[in-house]
Amino acid sequence: MKHTLAILVENKPGVLTRVAGLFSRRAFNIESLAVGVTEKPDTSRMTIVVSGDEHVFEQVMKQLNKLIDVIKVSEIPGSDAVNRELALIKVGVDSSTRAEVMQIVTVFRAKIVDVGIKSLVIEITGDEDKINAMEQLLRHFGIKEMVRTGKIAINRGAKTVKVGK
Amino acid sequence: MAKTKIPGARAVIESLYNEGVEVIFGYPGGTVLPLYDELYDADIRHILVRHEQAAAHAADGYARATGKVGVCLATSGPGATNLVTGIATAYMDSVPVVAITGQVPSTLIGNDAFQEANITGITLPVTKHNYLIQDANDIPRVFKEAFYIAGTGRPGPVLIDIPKDIQTDLIEFEYPEEVALRGYKPKAAGNEQQVKRAASLIMDSDRPIFYVGGGIIISEASKELLSLAETLKAPVTTTLMGMGAFPSSHPLSVGMPGMHGTKYANFAIQESDLIIAVGVRFDDRVTGKISAFAPNAKIIHIDIDPAEIGKNVRVDLPIVGDAKNVLKSLLNHVKDGKTRTGEWNKKIGVWKKETPLTYRKDELLRPQYVVEQLNAVCPDAIIATEVGQNQMWAAQFFDFKTPRTFISSGGLGTMGYGFPAGMGAKVGKPDSTVIVVAGDGSFQMNSQELSTVVQNDIPVIVAILNNGFLGMVRQWQELFFDRRYSETCMQNCVDFVKLAEAYGALGLRAAKKGEVRHVIEEAVKSGRPTVIDFVVEREENVSPMVPAGAAINEILELE
Ligand SMILES: Cc1ncc(C[n+]2csc(CCOP(=O)(O)OP(=O)(O)O)c2C)c(N)n1
Ligand SMILES: [Mg+2]
The string of DSSP letters for B441-500 reads: HHHTTSGGGHHHHHHTT---EEEEEE-SB-HHHHHHHHHHSTT--TT-B-TTS--HHHHH
- What is the extent of the structural domain holding B222? 192-354
pTM of the model: 0.96
Domain with CATH 3.30.70.1150 in chain A: 81-152
* Residue B341 in this model has a pLDDT that exceeds 70: yes
Tell me, yes or no, whether B259 and B342 share the same domain.
yes
CB contact under 8 A, A62 and B121: no
pLDDT at A24: 84
CA of A70 to the centre of ligand 1 (A): 38
How far is the C-alpha of A27 from the C-alpha of A29, rounded, in Å?
A: 6
- With contact defined as beta carbons under 8 Å apart, do B277 and B299 qualify? yes
Max distance between CA atoms of chain B, in angstroms, equals 79
- Listed in sequence order, the residues at least 6 apart from B156 whose beta carbon sits closer than 8 Å to its beta carbon are B90, B91, B94, B95, B96, B97, B127, B128, B149, B150
* Residue B433 in this model has a pLDDT that exceeds 60: yes
- Listed in sequence order, the residues at least 6 apart from B200 whose beta carbon sits closer than 8 Å to its beta carbon are none
CB contact under 8 A, A66 and B307: yes
Q: What is the number of domains present in chain B?
A: 3
Q: Give residue-wise pLDDT tens across range B21-67.
A: 999 999 999 999 999 999 999 999 999 999 999 999 999 999 999 99
Beta bridge partners of A78: none
Tally of CA atoms within 13 A in the half-sphere of B9 that contains its CB: 21
Tell me, yes or no, whether B323 and B392 share the same domain.
no
Q: Kindly state whether B142 is in contact with chain A, defined as any CB-CB distance less than 8 angstroms.
A: no
Residue B523 lies in a domain: yes
Q: Give residue-wise pLDDT tens across range B488-545.
A: 999 888 999 999 999 999 999 999 999 999 999 999 999 999 999 999 999 999 999 9
Tell me, yes or no, whether B118 and B160 share the same domain.
yes
Question: To 5 degrees, how large is the angle CA A72–CA A153–CA B185?
Answer: 0
Mean of per-residue pLDDT scores for chain B: 97
How far is the C-alpha of A7 from the C-alpha of B128, rounded, in Å?
A: 19
Residue B507 lies in a domain: yes
For residue B271, give the CATH number of its domain: 3.40.50.1220
Query: Cis before residue B105, ω within 30 degrees of 0?
Result: no
Nearest-CA distance B145 → chain A (Å):
10
Query: Is residue B25 among the annotated active site residues?
Result: no
Q: Where are the alpha helices (DSSP H) in A26-158?
A: 54-66, 98-107, 128-139
How far is the C-alpha of B45 from the C-alpha of B353, rounded, in Å?
A: 50
- Listed in sequence order, the residues at least 6 apart from B481 whose beta carbon sits closer than 8 Å to its beta carbon are none
pLDDT at B222: 98
- With contact defined as beta carbons under 8 Å apart, do B136 and B166 qualify? yes
- Listed in sequence order, the residues at least 6 apart from B465 whose beta carbon sits closer than 8 Å to its beta carbon are B367, B370, B371, B389, B390, B393, B437, B438, B439, B440, B471, B534, B536
Q: Which amino acid appears at position B73 of this protein?
A: L
Pairing of the two strands B23-26 and B70-74: parallel
Tell me, yes or no, whether B208 and B91 share the same domain.
no
Enclosing H/E stretch for B71? strand B70-74
Nearest to B165 by CA among B34, B5, B16, B13: B34
CB contact under 8 A, A71 and B182: yes
Mean pLDDT of B327-344: 91
CB contact under 8 A, B128 and A68: yes
How far is the C-alpha of B105 from the C-alpha of B260, rounded, in Å?
A: 50
Structure ipTM: 0.90
Tell me, yes or no, whether B314 and B228 share the same domain.
yes
Query: Is residue B259 among the annotated active site residues?
Result: no
Mean pLDDT of B64-77: 98
3-state helix, strand and coil shares in percent for chain B, rounded to the nearest 5: 40, 15, 40
B556: helix, strand or coil: strand
- With contact defined as beta carbons under 8 Å apart, do B400 and B408 qualify? no
Return the residue in B182, B184, B187 with the most chain A beta carbons within 10 A, the one to mutate for interface testing: B182
Which of B415, B469, B486 for a ligand 1 pocket mutation test, highest count of atoms within 8 Å of Cβ?
A: B415
pLDDT at B313: 95
CA of B361 to the centre of ligand 2 (A): 20
Tell me, yes or no, whether B518 and B380 share the same domain.
yes
Q: Which amino acid appears at position B529 of this protein?
A: P
How far is the C-alpha of A78 from the C-alpha of A61, rounded, in Å?
A: 17
pLDDT at A18: 94
How far is the C-alpha of B413 from the C-alpha of B284, rounded, in Å?
A: 13
**Closest ligand 1 atom to the C-alpha of B416?**
1
Choose the final residue of a domain: B126, B142, B172.
Answer: B172
Handedness of CA A141, A142, A144, A148 (dihedral sign): positive
Q: Where are the alpha helices (DSSP H) in chain A?
A: 15-25, 54-66, 98-107, 128-139
Tell me, yes or no, whether B14 and B114 share the same domain.
yes
Nearest to B21 by CA among B72, B83, B80, B61: B72
pLDDT at B1: 60
How far is the C-alpha of A117 from the C-alpha of A120, rounded, in Å?
A: 8
* Residue B559 in this model has a pLDDT that exceeds 90: no
Enclosing H/E stretch for B37? helix B33-39
For residue B454, give the CATH number of its domain: 3.40.50.970
The region, left, alpha or beta by phi > 0 then psi within -120 to 50, assigned to residue B435 is beta
* Residue A98 in this model has a pLDDT that exceeds 60: yes
How far is the C-alpha of B279 from the C-alpha of B403, rounded, in Å?
A: 14
Tally of CA atoms within 13 A in the half-sphere of B484 that contains its CB: 4
Residue B180 lies in a domain: no
* Residue A165 in this model has a pLDDT that exceeds 70: no
Tell me, yes or no, whether B344 and B261 share the same domain.
yes
* Residue B188 in this model has a pLDDT that exceeds 90: no
Tell me, yes or no, whether B396 and B454 share the same domain.
yes
pLDDT at B366: 98
Tally of CA atoms within 13 A in the half-sphere of A70 that contains its CB: 24
Tell me, yes or no, whether B445 and B397 share the same domain.
yes
Choose the final residue of a domain: B354, B375, B392.
Answer: B354
Spatial strand order in the sheet of A43-51 = A29-37, A43-51, A2-10, A70-76
Which pairs with CB-CB distance under 8 Å and at least 24 residues apart come from B222-227? B222/B246, B222/B402, B222/B403, B224/B323, B224/B324, B224/B327, B224/B328, B224/B331, B225/B278, B225/B327, B226/B250, B227/B331
Query: Is residue B481 among the annotated active site residues?
Result: no
pLDDT at B306: 95
Mean pLDDT of B471-497: 96
CA of B121 to the centre of ligand 1 (A): 28
Q: Which residues are near ligand 1 (CB < 6 Å)?
A: B 386-390, 413-416, 439-442, 465, 467, 469-473
Residue B181 lies in a domain: no
CA of B468 to the centre of ligand 2 (A): 5
Q: Give residue-wise pLDDT tens across range B201-226.
A: 999 999 999 999 999 999 999 999 99
Q: Which amino acid appears at position B520 of this protein?
A: I
Choose the final residue of a domain: B354, B378, B403.
Answer: B354
- With contact defined as beta carbons under 8 Å apart, do B435 and B460 qualify? yes
Per the CATH hierarchy, to which homologous superfamily does domain A2-75 belong? ACT domain (3.30.70.260)
Q: Which amino acid appears at position A105 of this protein?
A: V
Identified catalytic residue from B68, B128, B164, B324: B164
pLDDT at A55: 83
Instruction: List Cα–Cα distances, B274 to A165, B233, B295, in angstroms.
Output: 38, 14, 10
Mean pLDDT of B363-387: 98
Return the residue in A61, A62, A71 with the most chain B beta carbons within 10 A, the one to mutate for interface testing: A62
CB contact under 8 A, A58 and B132: no
Q: Distance from CA of residue B383 to its chain's centroid?
A: 11
Question: To 5 degrees, how large is the angle CA B24–CA B414–CA B221?
Answer: 70
- With contact defined as beta carbons under 8 Å apart, do B304 and B187 qualify? yes
Q: Which amino acid appears at position B14 of this protein?
A: E
* Percentage with pLDDT > 90 across chain A: 81
pLDDT at B423: 98
**What is the DSSP code string of B74-109?**
E-TTHHHHHHHHHHHHHHHTT--EEEEEEE--GGGT
Lowest mean pLDDT: which of B139-143, B264-268, B331-335, B424-428?
B331-335
Return the residue in A66, A71, A73 with the most chain B beta carbons within 10 A, the one to mutate for interface testing: A66
- With contact defined as beta carbons under 8 Å apart, do B228 and B235 qualify? no
Domain with CATH 3.30.70.260 in chain A: 2-75
- With contact defined as beta carbons under 8 Å apart, do A29 and A50 qualify? yes
Tell me the pLDDT band of A28, cut-offs 50, 70 and 90. confident
How far is the C-alpha of A51 from the C-alpha of A55, rounded, in Å?
A: 12
Lowest mean pLDDT: which of B186-190, B390-394, B536-540?
B186-190
Tell me, yes or no, whether B309 and B416 share the same domain.
no
Per the CATH hierarchy, to which homologous superfamily does domain A81-152 belong? ACT-like. Chain A, domain 2 (3.30.70.1150)
Instruction: List Cα–Cα distances, A110 to A89, A91, A95, A102, A129, in angstroms.
Output: 11, 13, 20, 9, 14
Residue B315 lies in a domain: yes
Pairing of the two strands A81-92 and A152-155: antiparallel
Give strand ranges (E) for B143-201: 157-163, 170-172
- With contact defined as beta carbons under 8 Å apart, do B228 and B245 qualify? no
Q: Distance from CA of residue B344 to its chain's centroid?
A: 32
How far is the C-alpha of B558 from the C-alpha of B543, rounded, in Å?
A: 5
- With contact defined as beta carbons under 8 Å apart, do A102 and A109 qualify? no
CB contact under 8 A, A68 and B120: no
* Residue B2 in this model has a pLDDT that exceeds 80: no
Work out the number of other CB atoms within 10 angstroms of the CB of residue B420. Answer: 32
Residue B531 lies in a domain: yes
Residue B300 lies in a domain: yes
Beta bridge partners of B406: B383
Q: Kindly state whether A128 is in contact with chain B, defined as any CB-CB distance less than 8 angstroms.
A: no
Q: Give residue-wise pLDDT tens across range B272-306.
A: 999 999 999 999 999 999 999 999 999 999 999 99
